[in-house]
């Protein structure tokens, strides 16, 4: 049985959240062995047993967890002669400058599976050396990554290698198709990561196909893609869930008069923060995950290992530490009554009175206050100490996306969501003297809300052959616009050039940006137009060189079609104001209003919290 319903889902480390297009929500415990089991259980609870939604918009942690836990495929790398060790040599910077014992993560491809092929193309496309024979791939290899020199500009050799490998029955990821950007190390690692994750994600997403008539998957860039495409490009899914929360958080901030804000998503295992300026989340060209650079379009989300399930302990030096290790969904915090014995942030929140003792979390029943106290006592820590340490870590995370980028947090609102975010938001806003705290409607499942309302989207990027030729860069942006638009139209079932009329409800939006730098610099800034680079450089770095040549090293294009469901379409829940100290318990989250703060109903069902006294 299929009904015309749309459901958004977000798989977290502790809970899996789901929201339907009529505004109903549910939270079910996550199922680490197969996250799809929790999604199916949530759909059954939301819509009824045997009822299948027409569209499932899904945020997944499968790619991230597989990379963090090293549960990917056995991968071979094919590259040019002399470049097999690029992924191990990496960059000259050290992961931790003052730690003599720090080591880089082991490469995903061992030395014996790094295969070299003769042949060179120059950056301008000239063939310096003919392509040699493709090496034989050893037995046991499940996927092959191919990354040849300059293939971001001239992919001919790389595509020939890929064709031969595919004819041999291999699962092949080509860098020129996945991430056609300059910088060999980052492009090589990104291609290897995609090959490493593809078998795992492909299996998972195919199995999830029976959960809905159509499955769309959230990317790190904040847009949905068909599940088939997501399965082929899993390197684009490493911020799948958090991106949804950023989108919805930005919209809630704008609706309440705060176009400039920081989204603050505190879940069970991690905290994600992102800067929003002018209503738009900050973009990033690259993310580091598990110590490896992944060069795919993304929202600029900064993540730390601090969540409701983060475990507190005393280290050998007597210092109190919180996280990054988490109790997760199983066994979970001690107060869940599932066998957990180590103290977590949630246990501290319960003992401190921020979570009412009568609260019942989805799928868990009443919380066990005595078990939480016992866990804290055994570890020799206090609830107040745990909360102070975790708040300090999250305050520093907010400083990373604001102060370190030249943005004054005092002019921003803090948008708090996730199961634990509204418990800690006022303390963080106080520490940073932020303007207000916005707690959106359905804050505990806001990432699922954002995924439900996310656009169907295509993101493309290309290196610029001559960085000083700005007219060439603008011409390339026009080409990417057209390519992105055509890909998007095919995703909605329309074939460009067919002569058929485009469905009236399909309105394609287009955008382009440019990665620019001063000639001689080694880092770039993404700007709307090269002319704006000087101003942006001054804002970010405190100075500009107006007479210095500007290079455009890459062009980015985006095409999207808005979701048929927006946050404004969802019924706004009735929420009452409160003066602190007060606890506001809601079905999907708990809000702590400290003394000196007041909570008042805002737009789109949000609560806006402000200080009424110092």
User: What percentage of the chain carries pLDDT values higher than 90?
Assistant: 71
Q: Best-predicted range by mean pLDDT among 222-226, 320-324, 585-589?
A: 222-226
The answer to which of 205-214, 221-230, 351-360, 371-380 has the lowest mean pLDDT is 351-360
The gap from C-alpha 392 to its chain's centroid, in whole angstroms, comes to 23
The predicted-structure confidence for 172-188, as pLDDT tens digits, reads as follows: 999 999 999 989 999 99
Contact between 137 and 170 (Cβ < 8 Å): yes
What average pLDDT does range 299-314 have in this prediction?
91
Tokens of 261: 């804000």
- Residue 33, token pair as written in the block: 């062995």
**CB 480: neighbour CB atoms within 10 A?**
22
Q: Are 508 and 543 in contact (CB under 8 A)?
A: no
The tens digit of pLDDT for each residue in 421-458 reads: 999 999 999 999 999 999 999 999 999 999 999 999 99
Task: Return the DSSP state at 589.
Answer: -
Whether pLDDT at 44 is above 90: yes
Residue 97 has pLDDT above 80, yes or no: no
Backbone angles phi, psi at 567, to 5 degrees: -60, -30
Angstrom CA distances, 196 to 35, 126, 215, stand at: 19, 32, 23
Q: How many CB atoms lie within 10 A of CB 568?
A: 11
Banded pLDDT at 1 (limits 50, 70, 90)? very low
pLDDT of residue 95: 67
pLDDT confidence tier of residue 227, bands split at 50, 70 and 90: very high
27 φ/ψ angles, rounded to the nearest 5 degrees = -125, 130
CB count in 10 Å sphere of residue 569: 13
What is the spatial distance between Cα 174 and Cα 440, in angstroms, rounded to a whole number?
41
Higher pLDDT, 588 or 478: 478
Per DSSP, helices labelled H in 516-608 are 533-541
Contact 38, 374 (CB under 8 A): no
The top-scoring range by mean pLDDT among 4-13, 387-396, 580-589 is 387-396
8 A C-beta contact, residue 25 and residue 14: no
Structure tokens at 310: 């983060």
Best CATH choice for the domain 456-561 from the list 3.30.1490, 2.30.30, 1.10.260, 1.10.3470: 3.30.1490
As a whole number, the mean pLDDT across the chain is 91
Q: Are 301 and 239 in contact (CB under 8 A)?
A: yes
In 3D space, the residue among 224, 316, 194, 246 whose CA is nearest the CA of residue 564 turns out to be 224
**Per-residue model confidence as pLDDT tens digits over 319-362:** 999 988 888 777 889 999 888 999 999 999 999 999 988 877 76
Interval 515-551: pLDDT, tens:
999 998 988 999 999 999 999 899 888 899 999 999 9
Q: What would the mean pLDDT of 576-598 be, rounded to a whole number?
A: 90
Give the pLDDT mean for 48-62: 92
| pLDDT at res. 3 | 45
Tell me the backbone φ, ψ of residue 348, rounded to 5 degrees. Answer: -65, -40
What pLDDT shows up at residue 587? 82
Give the per-residue pLDDT at 124.
Answer: 80
- Could you give the C-alpha distances from 249 to 418, 446, 564, in angstroms and in order? 11, 8, 18
Separation of alpha carbons 610 and 437, rounded Å: 7
Report pLDDT for 93: 73
Q: What is the pTM of this model?
A: 0.91
Mean pLDDT lowest for which of 197-201, 255-259, 593-597, 609-613?
Answer: 609-613
Whether cis (ω within 30° of 0) applies to the bond prior to 72 is: no
Task: Decide if 133 contacts 161 (C-beta within 8 A).
Answer: no
CA distances from 306 to 25, 370, 540 (A): 25, 23, 28
Q: What is the pLDDT confidence band of residue 299, given thresholds at 50, 70 and 90?
A: very high
Strand residue runs (E) in 488-596: 509-518, 525-527, 550-561, 578-579, 582-585, 590-593
SS3 413: strand
What pLDDT sits at residue 343?
Answer: 96
2-11 vs 52-59, strand pairing mode: parallel
How many angstroms separate the CA atoms of 398 and 402, rounded? 6
Our separate counts of H helices and E strands in the chain read 15, 35
Chain centroid to Cα 19, Å, comes to: 19
pLDDT value at position 363? Answer: 65
- Averaged over 135-158, what is the pLDDT? 95
Checking if the pLDDT of 94 tops 80, the result is: no
Task: Give the domain ranges of the chain.
Answer: 68-201, 241-304+407-442+580-611, 310-369, 456-561
Give the other-Cβ count within 10 Å of 175's Cβ: 26
Q: For residue range 389-425, list pLDDT tens digits in order.
A: 999 999 999 999 999 888 999 999 999 999 899 999 9
Task: Give the whole-angstrom CA distance, residue 363 versus residue 382.
Answer: 27
Reference 166, options 195, 188, 125, 201; nearest CA is 195
Q: What is the pLDDT of residues 485-496, one digit of tens each?
A: 999 999 888 877
353, 346 Cβ separation under 8 angstroms: no
At residue 145, the pLDDT reads 98
Separation CA 190–CA 289 (nearest Å): 10
pLDDT given at position 400: 94
pLDDT value of residue 162? 96
Return the axis-axis angle of helices 184-208 and 35-47, rounded to nearest 10°: 50
**Does residue 542 come out as left (phi exceeding 0), alpha (psi in the -120 to 50 range) or beta?**
left
| 185 CB-contact burial (10 Å; exposed 0-12 / middle 13-18 / buried 19+) | middle
Q: C-alpha 459: how far from its chain's center?
A: 15
Q: What is the DSSP letter of 341?
A: -
Asked whether residue 503 carries a pLDDT value surpassing 90, the answer given is no
How does residue 2 score in pLDDT terms, banded at 50, 70 and 90? very low
């Amino acid at each position: 049985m299929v009904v015309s319903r749309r459901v958004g889902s977000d798989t977290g480390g502790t809970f899996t959240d789901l929201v339907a297009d009529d505004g109903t929500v549910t939270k079910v415990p996550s199922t680490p062995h197969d996250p799809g089991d929790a999604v199916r259980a949530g759909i059954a609870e939301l819509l009824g047993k045997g009822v299948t939604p027409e569209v499932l918009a899904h945020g997944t942690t499968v790619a991230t967890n597989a990379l963090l836990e090293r549960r990917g495929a056995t991968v071979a790398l094919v590259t040019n002669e002399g470049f097999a060790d690029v992924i191990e040599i990496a960059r000259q910077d050290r992961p931790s400058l003052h730690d003599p014992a720090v080591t880089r993560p082991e490469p995903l491809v061992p030395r014996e599976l790094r295969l070299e092929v003769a042949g060179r193309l120059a950056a301008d496309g000239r063939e310096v050396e003919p392509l040699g024979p493709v090496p034989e791939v050893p037995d046991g290899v499940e996927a092959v990554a191919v990354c040849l020199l300059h293939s971001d500009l001239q992919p001919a050799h790389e595509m020939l290698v890929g064709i031969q490998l595919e004819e041999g029955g291999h699962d092949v990821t080509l860098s020129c198709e996945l991430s056609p950007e300059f910088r060999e190390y980052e492009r090589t690692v990104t291609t290897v990561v995609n090959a490493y994750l593809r078998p795992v994600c492909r299996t998972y997403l195919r199995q999830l196909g029976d959960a809905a008539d159509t499955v769309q998957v959230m990317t790190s860039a904040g847009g949905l893609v068909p599940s088939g495409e997501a399965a082929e490009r899993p390197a684009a899914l490493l911020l799948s869930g958090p991106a949804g929360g950023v989108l919805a958080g930005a919209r809630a901030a704008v609706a309440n008069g705060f176009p400039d804000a920081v989204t603050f998503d505190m879940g069970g295992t991690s905290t994600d923060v992102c800067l929003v300026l002018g209503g738009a989340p900050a973009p990033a060209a690259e993310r580091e995950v598990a110590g490896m650079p992944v060069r795919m379009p993304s929202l600029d989300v900064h993540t730390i290992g601090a969540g409701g399930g983060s475990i507190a302990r005393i280290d050998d030096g007597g210092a109190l530490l919180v996280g990054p290790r988490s109790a997760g969904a199983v066994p979970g915090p001690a107060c869940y009554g599932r066998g957990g014995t180590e103290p977590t942030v949630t246990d501290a929140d319960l003992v401190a009175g921020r979570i009412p003792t009568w609260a019942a979390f989805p799928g868990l029943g009443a919380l066990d206050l005595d078990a939480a106290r016992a866990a804290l006592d055994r570890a020799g820590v206090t609830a107040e100490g745990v909360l102070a340490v975790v708040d300090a870590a999250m305050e520093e995370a907010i400083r990373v996306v604001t102060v370190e980028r030249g943005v004054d947090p005092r002019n921003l609102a803090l948008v708090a969501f996730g199961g634990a975010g509204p418990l800690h938001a006022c303390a963080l806003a106080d520490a940073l003297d932020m303007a207000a705290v916005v707690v959106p409607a359905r804050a505990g499942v806001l990432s699922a809300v954002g995924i439900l309302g996310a656009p169907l989207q295509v993101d493309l990027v290309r290196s610029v052959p001559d960085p000083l030729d700005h007219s060439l860069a603008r011409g390339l942006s026009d080409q990417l616009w057209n390519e992105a638009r055509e890909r998007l139209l095919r995703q909605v079932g329309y074939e460009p050039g067919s002569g058929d009329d485009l469905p009236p409800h399909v309105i394609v939006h287009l955008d382009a940006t440019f990665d620019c730098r001063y000639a001689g610099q080694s880092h770039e800034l993404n700007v709307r137009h090269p002319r704006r680079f000087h101003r942006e450089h001054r804002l970010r770095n405190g100075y500009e060189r107006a007479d210095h040549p500007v290079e455009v090293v890459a062009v980015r294009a985006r095409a999207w079609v808005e979701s048929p469901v927006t946050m404004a379409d969802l019924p706004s829940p009735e929420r009452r104001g409160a003066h602190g100290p007060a606890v506001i318990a809601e079905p999907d989250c708990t809000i702590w209003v400290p003394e000196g703060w007041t909570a008042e109903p805002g737009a789109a069902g949000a609560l806006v919290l402000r200080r009424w006294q110092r």
